[in-house]
Amino acid sequence: MSPDPRPDPLEGTSAEPGVAKADPILTVSDVRRSFGGITAVDVDHLEIPRGLITGLIGPNGAGKTTLFNLLTGFDTPDKGTWTFAGEDLAGVPAHLVARKGMVRTFQLTKALARMTVMENMQLAAVGQTGERLLPALLPSLWRPQEDALTERADELLVRFKLDHMRDQFAGTLSGGQKKLLEMARALMVEPSMVMLDEPMAGVNPALTQSLLGHVKGLRDNEGRTVVFVEHDMDVVFDISDWVVCLAQGAVIAEGRPSEIGSNPAVIDAYLGSSHSEAPVQRRKRHERRAS
Amino acid sequence: MLVDILVDALRTSVGPTAAAYALLAIGLNMHFGFTGLLNFGQAGFMLVGAYGVAITVSTFGGPLFLGVIVGMLAAVVLALLLGVPTLRLRADYLAITTIAAAEILRLLFRSTAAEPVTGGVFGLRQFGGAFFALNPLPDDRAYLGPLAASAGRMWVMLVGWSVVLLMTLLVWALIRSPWGRVIRSIREDEDAARSLGKNVFAYKMQSLVLGGVIGAIGGALFALSLQTVQPDTFLPQVTFYAFAILILGGTASTFGPVIGAVIFWFILGMLLSGLRTFSDAGLLPEFFGAQAVGAVSLTFVGVLIMSLMIFRPQGILGDKKELQLDVS
Ligand SMILES: Nc1ncnc2c1ncn2[C@@H]1O[C@H](COP(=O)(O)OP(=O)(O)O)[C@@H](O)[C@H]1O
Ligand SMILES: [Mg+2]
């Protein structure tokens, strides 16, 4: 990556859990969620910097997915508030969260199997006139919009190298292609922030590089904020501007990639957990397990 | 004898009942085929459509068209009552609620307390006068050659199949629109739809209402063709017949319910006519007499669904490729 000519937006931000950022897009306060006796998420304070890539790490069961679910309206916390782009989002249903510009993908991909790749893409565009029952019956009302969003979808498919699969059912894609589709589809929503839950899990190494390129592109070419969960530390350190480490639901460390790898709390969290290895060690792909 | 049976079967397959069942199945296709909603109470929607006409005209002396509208509005209300508490929950809640609601409606309509309005177990009759008065066909002759349809029957068939065609067109237009795209995405994975900004609950509700109203129109047609309604017409198996038709024709294929209804009633018509013929000729044991009709139909539907599942799960018009995709 070429040296960034802009001033470092994280300049002077200290590597402490819950530290304030100069320009946060998402601010989480005192969010807690427990399942029975397990406290899955217990975040005192967390700020996600705007326009940057934040890597969210932590051993299996640390609460990363649950945190995504809570913030995007797919689950309800026991308590807590959060604001996104200045708006209070606690209690807002998932579909409205997405329309406000915070779009997530899923750890287990959710390609719409019996719809074509193109339909998957078209679906994701927001504000479609033809999605309302009565206008739907009059194609002349939505045809121009449909053509425009199809064009946009085609461009994205080319970018994500899925254009040759355009008219195939999404269910016929490989695991890696589904991940690509899910990311491309999320972009059709035109989000200001994308939250990717293990976007590289199960993706073959050849595709991983291109996926990484896309994630960086979201930041560099489109100015979007990215939060992503990933287990491969080489990947995390390669593309993140900032890393947040979760363990047993709480933020135990934050910092630049260079600061996180040597953070004792992080090493402890990984070594102390029975089913994960130290983050500094690159885990072999076939040993990786989905959480 | 065999020719008579075939003619009988053909007559049944294009008759008003087949058209009414096609409408039930078109509604179910909206629910189950396209949206993934499990409505096991289509008989309930059929019931409110039928009684909407019967009660408005017979009990209150209102005009026929008002009766049809009352039936459709009742279906909207029923869909809302069923959908509001269940559509945010897992799919099986709707299934249980709809089957129970349809039975409750039937028992309510046949109860003694409701008799002044619904006619209780005897039901209502003679409410189709205005409909048959509109019949432009001269009634001094029979129609459709060997099928020998009376002018009245021909009129119901004309109107019935026209409505079937109209509803098929409506569903076709909706499903190919962006609205239909959202509907199908909910069938595939409603969380994905939500994550892309779609109000899943609102769309499920629209689908439930739409399919229910189409079912109610089927009910109204059914009532008009028979000129009588009785609560025990609307047993749970009616819904399962409609499902059999849907699966036979091809779930989630726009034209499937129509083909399904015709073929379903052709086979069933053949079975029933055959049974009658053999029974009249004294070729069947005593216990296999006229009373066996219900049992034979039920057995037939069971065997039909089972064989479809084994030999052609996608139905006649369905897409096999689509069915083989892993939907998880
Ligand atoms: N729906 C649920 N019901 C019960 N426990 C859950 C549920 N979802 C998550 N958990 C528990 O919450 C903890 C955090 O899980 P998760 O957020 O999936 O972790 P991660 O994504 O970091 O691997 C785990 O202990 C998990 O077992
Ligand atoms: Mg997870």
- Percent of chain A having pLDDT more than 90? 64
Q: A167 and A227 share a domain?
A: no
Q: Are residues A105 and A122 in the same domain?
A: no
Query: By residue range, what is the domain housing residue A37?
Result: 24-111+191-290
Does residue A230 share a domain with residue A125?
no
Task: Please check whether residue B190 is in contact with residue B196, taking contact to mean a CB–CB distance below 8 angstroms.
Answer: no
- Establish if A168 belongs to a structural domain: yes
CATH number at residue A88: 3.40.50.300
Quote the mean pLDDT of chain A.
88
Buried (b) or exposed (e) across A98-136, using 16+ Cβ within 10 A?
bbbbbbbbbbebbbbbbbbbbbbbbbbbbebbbbbbebb
The answer to whether residue A283 is domain-embedded is yes
| pLDDT of A124 over the 90 cut | yes
| Site from B34, B191, B195 to mutate, A interface, most A CB atoms within 10 angstroms | B195
User: Which residues on chain B are in Cβ contact (under 8 Å) with A123?
Assistant: 178, 181-182, 185, 193, 196, 198
pLDDT, tens digit (0-9, with 9 covering 90-100), for B246-277: 999 999 999 999 999 999 999 999 988 888 88
- A16 inside domain: no
Residue A19 falls inside a structural domain = no
Dig out the tokens for A227 from the structure. Answer: 């939060």
Count of structural domains within chain A: 2
Mean predicted confidence (pLDDT) in B161-166: 98
Main-chain phi, psi angles of A279, to 5 degrees: -65, -25
DSSP-derived secondary structure for A217-272: HHHHTT--EEEEE-S-HHHHHHH-SEEEEEETTEEEEEE-HHHHTT-HHHHHHHHH
Tell me, what's the pLDDT at A277?
A: 47
Kindly report the backbone phi and psi dihedral angles of residue A25, in degrees, each rounded to the nearest multiple of 5, phi listed first: -95, -30
Please give the average per-residue pLDDT across A85-99, as a whole number. 94
> Does B160 touch chain A if contact means CB atoms closer than 8 Å?
no
pLDDT tens figures, B76-108: 999 999 999 999 888 889 999 999 999 999 999
Q: How confident is the model at residue A3 (pLDDT cuts 50, 70, 90)?
A: low
For residues A213 and A103, state if they share a domain: yes
Q: How far apart are the first and last CA of chain A?
A: 31
Return the amino acid letter for B174: L
Q: Is residue A284 pLDDT above 50, yes or no?
A: no
Give the pLDDT confidence score for residue A264 in this predicted structure.
82
Residue of A nearest to B171 (CA): A137
A267 is a domain residue: yes
Q: What is the mean pLDDT of residues A273-277?
A: 47
Reply yes or no on whether the pLDDT at A2 is more than 60.
no
* Residue-level pLDDT at B29: 97
Res B284: pLDDT: 73
- pLDDT of A205 strictly over 50: yes
- Specify the pLDDT at position A287: 43
Asked if A67 and A28 sit in the same domain, the reply is: yes
Choice between A287 and B219, residue whose per-residue pLDDT is larger: B219
Residues of chain A neighbouring B177 (CB-CB closer than 8 A): 130, 136-137, 139, 142
Q: Are residues A159 and A133 in the same domain?
A: yes
Look at residue A291 and tell me whether its pLDDT is greater than 50. Answer: no
Question: Mean pLDDT lowest for which of A6-20, A39-53, A162-176, B1-15?
Answer: A6-20
> If pLDDT is split at 50, 70 and 90, which confidence band does A5 have?
low
Residue nearest to atom 18 of ligand 1 (CA): A65
pLDDT surpassing 50 at residue A275: no
Q: State whether A92 and A208 are in the same domain.
A: yes
**Comparison of pLDDT for A202 and B214, the residue scoring more:** B214
pLDDT at B274: 85
pLDDT digits 0-9 by tens, B26-40: 999 999 999 999 999
The CATH-assigned architecture of domain B2-323 is Orthogonal Bundle (1.10)
pLDDT at A274 over 70: no
Same domain, A97 and A133: no
Name all residues whose Cβ lies below 6 A of ligand 1.
Answer: A 35, 38, 40, 58, 60-66, 291
Q: Do both A249 and A207 map to the same domain?
A: yes
Mutate to test the interface with B, among A114, A116, A178, A190 (most CBs of B within 10 A): A114
A78 plus A99 within the same structural domain: yes
Q: CB-CB: which of B170, B196, B322 is closest to A123?
A: B196
Q: How many angstroms separate the CA atoms of A103 and A179, rounded?
A: 15
Q: Are residues A156 and A219 in the same domain?
A: no
B231 C-alpha to ligand 2 centroid (Å): 53
Tell me whether A9 touches chain B (CB under 8 Å): no
Q: Are residues A129 and A81 in the same domain?
A: no
Contacts of B55 (CB under 8 A, 6+ apart): B67, B70, B117, B118, B124
Q: What ipTM did this prediction achieve?
A: 0.90
HEC-encoded secondary structure of A64-91: HHHHHHHHCCCCCCCEEEEEECCEECCC
> Taking 60 as the threshold, does the pLDDT of residue B202 lie above it?
yes
How distant is the Cα of A71 from the closest Cα of chain B, in angstroms? 12
Higher-confidence residue of A7 and B173: namely B173
Q: What is the pLDDT of residues A160-181, one digit of tens each?
A: 999 999 999 999 998 889 999 9
| A8 in any annotated domain | no
What are the boundaries of each domain within chain B? Answer: 2-323
Residue A64 in domain: yes
Nearest ligand 1 atom to the CA of A291 is 23
The whole-number pLDDT of residue B288 equals: 67
Q: How confident is the model at residue A4 (pLDDT cuts 50, 70, 90)?
A: low
